Amino acid sequence: MTPQQIDLVKATVPVLRENGVALTGYFYNRMLGNNPHLKETFNMGHQRSGAQAQALAGAVLAYAENIEDPSVLLPVVELIAHKHVSLNIQAPDYNIVGENLLHSISEVLSISMQDPLIDAWAAAYGQLADLFIRTEKAIYDQHQQTKGSWLGWRNFKIAKKVVESDEITSFYLSPSDGGELPKYEAGQYISVRVFVAELGLKQPRQYTLSTSPQADYLRISVKREDEKNDLAAGWVSNTLHHLLEGSEIEVSAPTGNFFLIDPNKRNVFISGGVGLTPMVAMLNQLVTLDMPQPVTFIHACRSKHVHAMKQHIHELKAQYPRLSTFTVYEFPHQSDKLDEDYDATGRLDLNAVDRILLSPDADYYLCGPMPFMAEQQKVLLAQGIAAENIHSEAFGTGGVHH
């Protein structure tokens, strides 16, 4: 990019702050209208709620603000690149996005396609697209070199469904072709694609793998959403809950950059609600290694009725003295027993947890709703835990997956 083009892109920052969501909303409508096949790649629930337009507006603004040194965005690029790979997004798709983005800027700002600003954004977008394509190629290459892995979508059968709580069911997925499965890192996720009758379309959704690698199945644990929710956040999740054992779905290969980093360190897992799925996967991975270091498993949920995998954690705790747990029920039922089911009530307050369980030299893993994770991170930093030892995974609308 020329210095003049960089200045032009930077000059659009105030416009993006003010009108970014209007621009990206217009862009998505234009692109999906012109390329309806992409509706099976994009989450239409997030389209309807506006979450996708909001997320893209934030990303475009961040890129414009850092146009002189886009390398500061590399951690975010890597995060998104894994998601793109899980959706089988390919290099030519970037041409479709670029063309529609430039036309949207032209149409929303009422400027000619020959305006120097469009040229500047074309150069900026080309630079960003190249960065994504290179990052994604490295991930695709890794899948090709991993035994049992695959590219794109692969058919799987729902071999078994196991009810884990009033809201969460585990799905055991076996490859329809009977072929091998790859070793993956505990904490990684897959994309699942199913036909959603209400839309007349296939829809993808990301779900964390909820156990360590197994020879003949992948497992996801899915929360059923309230069907009265008009934002349609649960289209794929609720479709899955209605599918019978033996049904076929499409699945992408395990990917993602949130996973257990060092099994030989002390590890502390902190989760809220269905955010416990990557934590159980990591814990199960440590079990296969005979739990080399002490582990703390902290979980917050509403009550015993929605406390998934409670029995599994109890059994591991009885078997491994190095495993300590701390459970918080926000609204315990009368039948829930203090000490047996939970340790505290209300919201999770890490300041109320015994400091012995929160080692200053441990790795900390957070997963749950964004406000939950922000609160826990704030407390951990205040307790002197180093920022580089705190790792988090977002989920839900505006987050990464689940």
Catalytic site positions: 94, 136
Element (H, E) at 103: helix 91-108
Element (H, E) at 230: none
Q: What is the DSSP letter of 243?
A: S
What is the distance between the alpha carbons of residues 211 and 233, in angstroms, rounded to a whole number? 24
Which alpha helices (H) appear in 3-90, and where do they start and end? 3-11, 13-34, 44-49, 51-65, 74-86
What is the distance between the alpha carbons of residues 174 and 160, in angstroms, rounded to a whole number? 9
What is the distance between the alpha carbons of residues 276 and 209, in angstroms, rounded to a whole number? 11
CA 49 to chain centre: 18
Can you read off the two tokens belonging to residue 70? 């886009």
Burial, 275: exposed, middle or buried (Cβ in 10 Å; 0-12, 13-18, 19+)?
A: buried
